[in-house]
Amino acid sequence: MSSIEQLGRAMMIGGIVLAAIGGLLMLSGKIPWIGKLPGDIMIEKKNFTFYFPIATSILLSVILSFLFWLIGRK
């Protein structure tokens, strides 16, 4: 397979992954537990809100790592 074909394949896979992530972000408001997992930090004051989704970030990282592992297998 030539380097141009490899680049084309990588761009197609990247586009599919980006489209999937975009779809998940659009649906994230409809999934009640996303962003509200135990381990997510939220501090609310009168006029200040700090939100750091540690557990959600770790969960998404594990899911994406597994998906990329599946895609990269031959």
Q: Are residues 44 and 24 in the same domain?
A: no
Q: How far is CA 4 from CA 1, 8, 11, 72, in A?
A: 8, 6, 11, 18
pLDDT of residue 74: 62
Q: Provide the residue range defining the domain that includes 3.
A: 1-31
Q: Are residues 55 and 73 in the same domain?
A: yes
- Express each pLDDT in 34-54 by its tens digit: 677 888 888 899 899 998 889
Q: Are residues 6 and 38 in the same domain?
A: no
Do residues 55 and 40 make contact, with C-beta atoms less than 8 angstroms apart?
yes
Residues of the chain where predicted confidence (pLDDT) is lower than 70: 28, 31, 33-34, 74
Q: Which helix (H) or strand (E) holds 44?
A: strand 41-44
pLDDT of residue 30: 74
Whole-structure pTM value = 0.55
Count up the domains in the chain and report the number.
2
